[in-house]
């Protein structure tokens, strides 16, 4: 079902007549009431994603969208709520639109979510930043960095972070327990927290934080480094 949320749409045009193919920028703001402990799934192709956990019960979306006018009109920021899950697609294409090329709107997304929201984030050319949440996080980007701060969580949540070309930084509270699974082609793993490392391969290794057990922390890169900080 489509959730009809209060939305404020502000369109900013360059002064004077717009030339053919000239890019324009618009902002979209939505506030969506949400279920405690639910899941947010997000897809974005181009543009940074920043998510902050709060004590509120709403998902607050602020998006800055940049593209030609025809793309802005035919590729929308789509928000769907299905029970305890919210799906956000930054590039929902009008099926009746005939344009075949460059069907992407660059979208910078800033979201506030209830802190206990599970996150499933899929991006392509985007830096992804998450701070202040306490539930499980899955974050994937192709060309971009991933920064995750879960120091507010009473226990480490499960983290599954993957990027092809970019670094990953995970900020964890000291004193937690977790199992680290690290895979890379040409990157390195460094940690401010003590690790008990199993295996000698720099490309694939497992390690324990604290007494092990607890959360599963999976980090995968092709050409990026992983840093665990406190």
Q: pTM of the full predicted structure? A: 0.89
- Tell me, yes or no, whether 130 lies in a domain: yes
Given a cut of 90, whether residue 8 has pLDDT beyond it is: no
- pLDDT value for 184: 94
Helix (H) or strand (E) holding 73: helix 69-74
- Tell me, yes or no, whether 78 lies in a domain: yes
Given a cut of 60, whether residue 122 has pLDDT beyond it is: yes
Range of the domain at 127: 6-96+103-144
What's the structural domain count of the chain?
Answer: 1
Nearest to 160 by CA among 171, 170, 175: 170
Given a cut of 50, whether residue 218 has pLDDT beyond it is: yes
- pLDDT value for 81: 96
- Tell me, yes or no, whether 121 lies in a domain: yes
- Tell me, yes or no, whether 175 lies in a domain: no
Q: What are residue 186's DSSP bridge partners?
A: none
- pLDDT value for 102: 72
- Tell me, yes or no, whether 161 lies in a domain: no
- Tell me, yes or no, whether 115 lies in a domain: yes
- Tell me, yes or no, whether 41 lies in a domain: yes
Given a cut of 50, whether residue 62 has pLDDT beyond it is: yes
Q: What percent of the chain is predicted at pLDDT more than 90?
A: 79
């Amino acid at each position: 079902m489509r959730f009809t949320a209060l939305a404020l749409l502000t369109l900013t045009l360059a002064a004077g007549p717009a030339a053919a193919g000239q890019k324009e920028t618009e902002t979209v703001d939505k506030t969506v009431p949400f279920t405690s402990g639910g899941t947010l799934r997000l897809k974005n192709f181009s543009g940074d994603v920043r998510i902050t956990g709060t004590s509120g019960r709403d998902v607050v979306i602020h998006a800055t969208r940049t593209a030609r006018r025809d793309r802005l009109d035919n590729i929308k920021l789509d928000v769907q709520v299905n029970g305890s899950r919210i799906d956000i697609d930054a590039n929902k294409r009008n099926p009746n639109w005939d344009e075949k090329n460059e069907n992407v709107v660059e979208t910078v997304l800033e979201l506030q979510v209830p802190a206990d929201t599970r996150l499933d984030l899929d991006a392509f050319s985007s830096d992804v930043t998450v701070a202040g949440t306490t539930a499980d996080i899955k974050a994937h980007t192709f060309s971009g960095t991933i920064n995750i701060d879960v120091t507010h969580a009473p226990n480490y949540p499960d983290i599954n972070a993957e990027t092809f070309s970019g670094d990953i930084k995970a900020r964890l509270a000291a004193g937690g327990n977790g199992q680290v699974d690290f895979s890379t082609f040409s990157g390195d793993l460094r940690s401010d927290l003590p690790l008990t490392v199993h295996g000698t391969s720099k490309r694939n290794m497992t390690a324990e934080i604290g007494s092990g057990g607890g959360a599963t922390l999976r980090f995968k890169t092709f050409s990026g480094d992983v840093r665990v900080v406190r």
